[in-house]
Structure 1
Amino acid sequence: MSDVFIAPNLFGELDRLQRQMSSLFGGFPTSLRSTRVGKFPQVNVGSTDESIEIVAFAPGLDISKLDVSIEKGLLTISGQRDTEYDRLPEGARQYAQERFTGSFRRAIELPQQADPDKVQAKYVNGCLLISVGKRETSKPRSITVQ
């Protein structure tokens, strides 16, 4: 006779444990890293046959204070957002503040097929658009059967 007890609803218990762990760690995806609680800027990451596409939603940035770099498979977006429009008039009491100001840093782990020599970045209408080309060897190709 064994002393090991297995709950009748083992998979339900594992599901409950996974939900608790997700809520504990905030459900962060492993490929996105943030050094601030606010996770500014928010990003969308996608892929085409030719490139990895990143859109960072970052209104109110001075692009001279923005830095985009790639090192060891990590694309890093860092910078500073300071605005004079976020300040309330003198004597006003603040009840809530949702807009982030200050320095930020986001790192996105790129897939192995990303080519760090093929990167383009532009800032349009408050969005930082980054396109990272894929290596030729990783692109889909048709193979003729003989």
Structure 2
Amino acid sequence: MLYRSLFPRDLFADLDRLQGEIQRNLEISPSIRGLTRGFPAMNVGSTPKSVEIYAFAPGIAPESLEVQVERGVLTVAGERQPDPLPEKATAHIDERFAGRFRRVVTLPDDVDTTAVEARYRDGVLHITVPRKEAAQPQRIAIQ
């Protein structure tokens, strides 16, 4: 009985819950869109012929975006200017990201980094990295 009085049964459960809360707060930052992991938000997928990357960066001029591929790593970088406030105005909530950003995607070994295409339309940067011809599936005729 002395053990129970020194160490309440819920102490370890409380410590476990506290550790989980600390980890969640350090890993993901809250924003107006919910829980995010970085700016710009990205979708990365692949097809048999290419790797497709979508970066969602509304309100950014295409000239301020930089896409670079080096040693199998694709980097999207740029800067979003802060929205100017009218004179003598006070911002009560300012959740839109402003400043420099950089996102990095490691590409698979079977892509052709010399033929990368990037298009920006309606706030979405679409990057296509084609796969090498040798890496694409081939149908073998049976004799």
Q: CA deviation at 1:24?
A: 7.3
Match for 2:108: what amino acid?
P
Aligned to 2:115: 118
Q: CA deviation at 1:45?
A: 0.4
Aligned to 2:27: 26
Distance in 1 of aligned mates of 2:112 and 2:23: 32
Match among 125, 128, 142 for residue 128 of structure 1? 125
Distance in 2 of aligned mates of 1:145 and 1:38: 49
Q: CA deviation at 1:143?
A: 2.3
TM-score (norm 1): 0.69
Where 1:45 maps in the other structure, the secondary structure is strand
Q: CA deviation at 1:90?
A: 3.6
Match for 2:52: what amino acid?
E
Distance in 1 of aligned mates of 2:132 and 2:25: 37
Count of residues in correspondence between the two structures: 118
Aligned to 2:42: 43
Aligned to 1:70: 69
Where 2:108 maps in the other structure, the secondary structure is coil
Distance in 2 of aligned mates of 1:125 and 1:53: 17
Distance in 1 of aligned mates of 2:109 and 2:27: 26
RMSD: 2.6
Where 2:140 maps in the other structure, the secondary structure is coil
Q: Deviations over 1:15-36 (max 9, x none)?
A: x9xx959747627xxxxxxxxx
Moved over 2 A (4+): 19-27, 86-96, 143-146
Task: Check if 1:58 corresponds to 2:57.
Answer: yes
Determine which structure has more spread, i.e. the larger CA radius of gyration. Answer: 2
Q: CA deviation at 1:97?
A: 1.8
Q: Which has the higher helix share?
A: 2
Task: Check if 1:87 corresponds to 2:88.
Answer: no
Distance in 2 of aligned mates of 1:63 and 1:105: 15
TM-score (norm 2): 0.71
Residues 38 and 100 of structure 1 are in contact (CA less than 8 Å); yes or no, is this contact kept in structure 2? no
Task: Check if 1:137 corresponds to 2:138.
Answer: no
Identity of aligned residues (%): 42
